[in-house]
Structure 1
Amino acid sequence: MPLRILLVEDEAELAGAIQAVLRAEQHIVDHLAEGLGAWSLIRGELATYNLAIVDWMLPGLSGPELCRRLRGAGLTLPVLMLTALADTSHRVQGLDAGADDYLIKPFAMEELLARIRALQRRQPNYRELLLRAGPYLLDPAESCLTVQEAVGSTRITLSAKELQLLAYFMEHPREIIPGARLRSQLWSLEDDPISNVVAAQVRLLRRKLASHGLPSPIETVASKGYRFEPEP
């Protein structure tokens, strides 16, 4: 499933490369270049992250100190530590500070993605890749939605943002979800905060379903948000 990831890395070139790889995997990535800002962001709960990728040497607050603050606050956010310090004592120090895994620079992006998948599988709320709600079956690996109908099924290819949006709705069926919550979870903090991206994306998703002759399971609840109703 797509994750919301906080990347805390002060090397601009490396940070850009990591963001590109993660976004190609359909993850949502927020990037900060220093530790204190990351601590304030996580503590402020502006967004709920599934994973943090944290460099060891950061201005303001080091990676290990950020981990210690997270664990001291009782936060269980998985942390993957990045560092050029390869000796055993530093690995032990990082893990003891609260990091869940450790990746030594330079590293292959394939290994980074594998470590992220491994951390995801360790989570107690890990789900199989397929999401099902009523007649709707979502396959994130294939970026497609299959809708079972009385006389057969319809398969629809989704864009990355359509996939993220529909997955979030299917994880919260029948729940009224405010637009602000959808935006905070599914869009980067770098996006324009006053833009109407949520309503626009919901319209696009409804339009795609309609183009296949299907009604939309996403209801607009006046002044409150949206609700995914899997059963007609």
Structure 2
Amino acid sequence: MLIIEDDKKIAEFEKDYLEANQYEVDICYTGENGIKKADENSYDLIVLDIMLPNMDGFEVCKELIKHHDIPILFVTAKNENLDKIKGLGMGATDYIVKPFEPSELVARVGAHIRRYELLTRSTMKEEDVIIRGDLTIEVKSRKVYIRGKEIFLPNKEFELLHFLASNLNIVFNKQQLLDKIWGENSYVDEATVVVHINRIRDKIEDDSLNPKYIETLWGAGYRFKNY
């Protein structure tokens, strides 16, 4: 895995504990070098600090998800919900707040790697292409098209859309979607689901205020309409 962290002591601290748990770890101290390293190698997960010089973690995350389908774990010293939601809304998988116990980092990393591997394997067994009206989802390539034009969805947006589109007319509440997409032990809150649904609607709907694909049932949850 790759750690992108400008504080060398913290980076080495994280590396030592992860290597002690049988993970192979590389370190980069700037966002620019982290992006380059990710382009040159294949990683199971990236641990990404938000407060980086020149190019912060949000910018790095934005660049990484353009070219890599990989779990990203944000590390932040901040405790404001807006920062957490911003990071998760951009496509990060989860976050962990400094200071944290080494065992928590190791557990979080392991959980996300295992979950991503299971998701990838289960996805390959499902139908290769899902067509819902003008919307086309290519499952194996993780590509989405509206009327033949490709649109980009970060990891969690794709997983959420894929899950809803695969379960037509079934209503899921926010907690159910959190458990399914982020995992039952995730520290993400329900506001993140709202953010992701809104981002998906902005990309696939002609009018996001009057959606024809993902419907809100007030007090109940969301469902994908049948076509």
Q: String of CA shifts for 1:177-232, please: whole Å, max 9, x gaps.
A: xxxxxxxxxxxxxxxxxxxxxxxxxxxxxxxxxxxxxxxxxxxxxxxxxxxxxxxx
Paired position in structure 1 for 2:104: 111
The Cα shift of 1:72 comes to: 2.5
Paired position in structure 2 for 1:17: 13
Paired position in structure 1 for 2:162: none
* C-alpha separation in 1, matches of 2:85 and 2:106: 22
Q: String of CA shifts for 1:52-81, please: whole Å, max 9, x gaps.
A: 0000011232111111112233x2111000
* C-alpha separation in 2, matches of 1:126 and 1:35: 30
RMSD: 1.6
**SS across alignment from 1:27:** coil
| 1:65–1:97 contact (8 Å) kept in structure 2 | no
* C-alpha separation in 2, matches of 1:22 and 1:48: 17
* C-alpha separation in 2, matches of 1:117 and 1:125: 15
**SS across alignment from 1:71:** helix
Higher Rg of the two aligned structures: 1
* C-alpha separation in 2, matches of 1:126 and 1:15: 31
Change (3 A) 1:117 1:92: same
The Cα shift of 1:12 comes to: 1.3
Paired position in structure 2 for 1:48: 42
1:32 lines up with 2:25 in the alignment: no
The Cα shift of 1:118 comes to: 1.5
* C-alpha separation in 1, matches of 2:64 and 2:86: 15
Which ranges of structure 2 fall in alignment gaps of 5 or more residues?
123-227
Paired position in structure 1 for 2:80: 87
The Cα shift of 1:125 comes to: 4.2
1:76 lines up with 2:85 in the alignment: no
**SS across alignment from 1:28:** coil
**SS across alignment from 2:25:** strand
Paired position in structure 1 for 2:58: 64
Which ranges of structure 1 fall in alignment gaps of 5 or more residues?
128-232
**SS across alignment from 2:19:** helix
Q: TM-score, normalised by structure 1?
A: 0.49
Q: Could you list the structure 1 runs, at least 4 aligned residues long, displaced by more than 6 angstroms after superposition.
A: none
* C-alpha separation in 1, matches of 2:114 and 2:38: 22
| 1:8–1:54 contact (8 Å) kept in structure 2 | yes
The Cα shift of 1:90 comes to: 0.7
| 1:64–1:98 contact (8 Å) kept in structure 2 | no
Q: Which has the higher helix share?
A: 2
Q: TM-score, normalised by structure 2?
A: 0.50
